[in-house]
Amino acid sequence: MAKGDISKEFIIEASMPIFNTNGYNGTSLQQIMDKTGFTKGGIYRHFDNKEALAAAAFSLAYKKMKAAYFEAFDASDAGAARLLKFLELMKTFLLRPPVKGGCPILNSSTEVDDTNEALRKLVKAAAADWETIMIGFFEAGKQQQQFAPQLDATKEARFMIASIEGAIMLCKLHRNAEYGLAAIDVLSERIRQLQQ
């Protein structure tokens, strides 16, 4: 990796938690300058503008979050077991998220608008990616005859994502894991109900 690429990665890595914690509007280049030690010119060498940097930071945040999820899956697990394991993992993430600031999709979703189309597209893609993964889990469960064949995997996936995101939001707001644990528990119950 060339020197420039190292710097670029370094800037993204350093700015990611700032963006994910303070939001796009709440983050200034000055904060990133302070953290990285680079000057503005050095940063703009690698990114056209603030939004491009924010987009890169978001991508990294999602990548890290996703990696934290997959890290926890046992290769032998599949279908329902994997889903339950995933939900258990979520519980620990409610107050101690794998990326500082919590779920980047949630954090970005309220701030992106028509003035941030590039970033917006990325967030949508990330959400879609996550959905695809979850659908895969449900489909795997169907193939293993854990779930009924008529189970609507897309619906279940979206429901699960929505509930988890909402749970994260409540925990962050109240600064109390209790508010989200309830939701995760119900989701686990549902997975078990759907089996048999």
Residues near a second copy (CB under 8 A): 21-23, 25-26, 105-107, 109-113, 123-124, 127, 152, 154-156, 158-159, 161-167, 169-170, 172-174, 179-180, 182-183, 185-186, 190
Amino acid 194 reads L
Q: Residue 89: how many CB atoms within 10 A of its CB?
A: 16
Least CB distance to DNA at residue 29 (A): 3
Least CB distance to DNA at residue 57 (A): 13
Q: What is the CA radius of gyration of the chain?
A: 19
50 binds, among a second copy, DNA, none (CB under 5 to 8 A by kind): DNA
Q: Contact at 8 Å (CB) between 183 and 163?
A: yes
Least CB distance to a second copy at residue 132 (A): 13
* Closest C-alpha to 191, from 83, 70, 75: 83
Take residue 140 and report the two structure tokens written for it: 């795997």
* Closest C-alpha to 126, from 61, 74, 195, 51: 61
Contact between 31 and DNA per CB under 7 A: yes
30 binds, among DNA, a second copy, none (CB under 5 to 8 A by kind): DNA
Count, residues near DNA per rule CB under 7 A: 24
* Cβ proximity to DNA, 3 vs 96, nearer residue: 3
* Closest C-alpha to 105, from 60, 58, 166: 58
Among 30, 76, 110, 115, the residue binding DNA under the rule CB under 7 A is: 30
Residues 152, 133, 154: CA angle, nearest 5 degrees: 20
Q: How far apart are CA 74 and CA 63, in angstroms?
A: 19
Least CB distance to a second copy at residue 69 (A): 17
Q: Tell me how far the alpha carbon of residue 181 is from its chain's centroid.
A: 18
For 68, the 3-state DSSP assignment is helix
Among 9, 21, 35, 44, the residue binding DNA under the rule CB under 7 A is: 44
> Applying CB under 7 A, which part among 36-44, 86-94, 103-111, 140-148 lies near DNA?
36-44
Residue ranges in contact with DNA by CB under 7 A: 2-5, 7-8, 27-31, 37-42, 44-46, 48-51
